[in-house]
Chain A
Amino acid sequence: MTILEVEHLRKTYGEGPRATHAVGDLSFSVSSGEFVCIVGPSGCGKSTLLKCMSGLLPASSGEVRLAGRRITGPPPAMALVFQEYGRSLFPWMSVRDNVLLPLRHKGLSKDEQRRLVTDSIDEVGLTRFGDHYPWQLSGGMQQRVAIARALAYQPEVLLMDEPFASVDAQTRSDLEDLILNVRDRYGVTVVFVTHDIDESVYLADRIVVLTPAPTEVKETLTVDLPSPRDQVATKELPEFAHLRAHTYRLIMRPSDHEDPVGATAGAVAHGSPK
């Protein structure tokens, strides 16, 4: 069943000859319970796309529908996790209060709110840290708080904007597995924007590869890797290597009028260290 549809979405900043076309005619859809990664070259308007999808930014034309209803503002069935956890968590609130804040206006009983907060903090493995302040925690732990906050909100769709881009490699693997677990346990649909190709292949059921701005869908890939994924075993599979290489070429391949040699050199220079 389709839960999220992006249809002929366009986003233009400014007007006339000086207008910037960030997103140009983008369409794709996400099924309920699916894990979709959106990857594309740097500066391809991924964040703009996510803002339009979350209702934070109005589209210039086209529309985004959640469960068949057009999105005009942030919908209650959607939660966002930002890359900048340090700015997205509120430093004057404890971990608990950060997780609690979005629940206050949802019309839940106090007991229900408390239960959701406790459960989601437990889920991300921060049971003992509820009374800490975000700035007392490491970066990875802070991003766990942001994930707990999103989970407590009980969304049907979780939108994540390069959520693990600012943590170290080890923490990143842990968080990747955490989010896969969360998806299985909560049955939530995840739309995950990343610029890391390995990450997208490892996490996704499907990858939407974008073109440079004005962004369009270049190709959609089904990732047919066995579940549950494993940081070592999954990445050893020939299919993993094949998908990774294919995605890489899609993103790094020059368009017809560009110099292919230069582009190949660029691909090597930007190569992921993993």
Chain B
Amino acid sequence: MHRGTRMAPVVLVAVLLVLWELIARLSLLPRPEFPTMTGTAVELVRLLGTSQPWLASAQTLQAWALGMVIAIVLAVPVGIAVGTNRMLYRSVRLVIEFLRPVPSVALIPLAILIAGAGLTSKVGLAVFGAFWPLLLQCYYGMQDLDPVAEDTARSFGLGRFARFRHVALPSAVPYIATGARIASAIVLTVVVSAEIVIGAPGLGREVFVAQTSGAYETTYAITFLIGMLAWGLNVGVSAAERRVLHWHPSQRPVEA
């Protein structure tokens, strides 16, 4: 890649940061609610020297990981079953269409009633949010089986299970991987929302507490941390996707 092209994003970030600093310094916006970039950076460094943000990050991350694992364990088998069995699909379609659009956050009061204001509620809500897109992706993946691939496997005498294991499942993996990427973003969103609203321990509660107590630099610093966490998770999930899908057209190296 050309050197200038590689530097362009770095330059943009630097410009935005300087702009932030200038707007705050020149008091273009009310000063207390809009701390300077440098003030926020100093606060971030101070915070990272304490155990609090690390613990809160671990709690948010733990809920994310649990939510992902449970959502995948529940949604993938159901999605595959629904995708391979027309009868089953017809019978559950209505339920899916009804439950899928319900926003997870609307269920927060119910979750508190049932499971209290802790990890269970956070994870439960996140699983509910991630379950549907993941389920649908698995369903589409099973539906999109190439008839030529299926005929090939049948012509070589592969039985039902062998065809599922060696043909249907691998060809659905790109869909499932996309589902997992969508699910990852949903799980993090719901987990942080739940922490803010219910006050379950995690980065969401930290940022909420900082904001209500008027510690604006801390609020900005923690918001930045949440952003970094989301970015890191996205990078991680994309890397995992690349590994699993090295054979897929979307991941193949561009031919020279």
Contacts and interface: CB of A to CB of B under 8 A. Distances in A.
Task: Using C-beta atoms within 8 Å of the partner chain, give the interface range for chain B.
Answer: 20 to 34
Interface string A67-79: 0000000101011
Given A90-B170, A91-B248, A80 B158 contact: no
Contact of B156 (A84, A87, A92, A153): A153
B166 A105 contact: no
Contacts of B158: 101-102, 105
A54 interface: yes
Contacts of B33: none
A88 B152 contact: yes
Interface stretch (B52-60, B117-125, B143-151): B143-151
A56 interface: yes
B101 interface: no
Among A102, A105, A135, find the residue whose CB has the most chain B CB atoms closer than 10 A.
Answer: A102
A129 interface: no
B159 interface: yes
Nearest to A103: B156
B154 interface: yes
Interface residues of A, number: 24
Interface in A5-59: 51, 54-56
A90 B155 contact: no
Contacts of A92: 170-171, 173, 247-248
Interface in B125-151: 146, 148-149, 151
A78 B151 CA distance: 13
A190 B154 CA distance: 19
A240 interface: no
Contact of A90 (B149, B157, B159): B149
Nearest 4 pairs of A and B residues by beta carbon: A102-B156, A87-B148, A80-B155, A92-B247
Interface of A: 51, 54-56, 74, 76, 78-80, 82, 84, 87-88, 90-92, 101-102, 104-105, 133, 135, 149, 153
